Amino acid sequence: MHEMSYVVRLVNEAITAAEENNANAVKQISVLVGEMTDVVPDYLKRYYPDCVKNTILEGSELVTELDPVVIECSGCGKKYHPSKENNYGCPDCGSAAGKIIAGKYVVLKSVEIED
């Protein structure tokens, strides 16, 4: 149920963005859901309508998009998606050391304002 806290945060961010753009209504918000977050997009969508009641977002659609994990290898600098086939290491040099550069967060990607 940790998805509820994500929805509340995203709704607040979207309201702020809409108000900064003098919007009267919002058509859609888009969210990137990181592959490593364990956040279930269907739960975000389930809680969304209740969180936007009586706000500028009421009636808007929540669109989610998977943000795949991307690792930057510490050994050779290659960016890759870890997979079982390469034992989750770098496919070029085999190093298991790297930095996660994508797929770790839930992020508000865009707010589409109604005309």
Q: How confident is the model at residue 59 (pLDDT cuts 50, 70, 90)?
A: very high
| pTM, to two decimals | 0.85
Number of domains in the chain: 1
CA 83 centroid distance within chain: 21
Asked whether 61 and 28 are in contact (CB, 8 A), the reply is yes
Tokens 């309201």 correspond to 15
- CA separation for the pair 114, 83 (Å, rounded): 41
Strand partners, 80: 71
| Average pLDDT of the residues in 87-105 | 94
What's the domain range around 76?
3-113
Identify the pLDDT of residue 1.
57
CATH code of the domain containing 73: 3.30.2320.80
Q: What is the pLDDT of residues 64-85, one digit of tens each?
A: 999 999 999 999 999 999 999 9
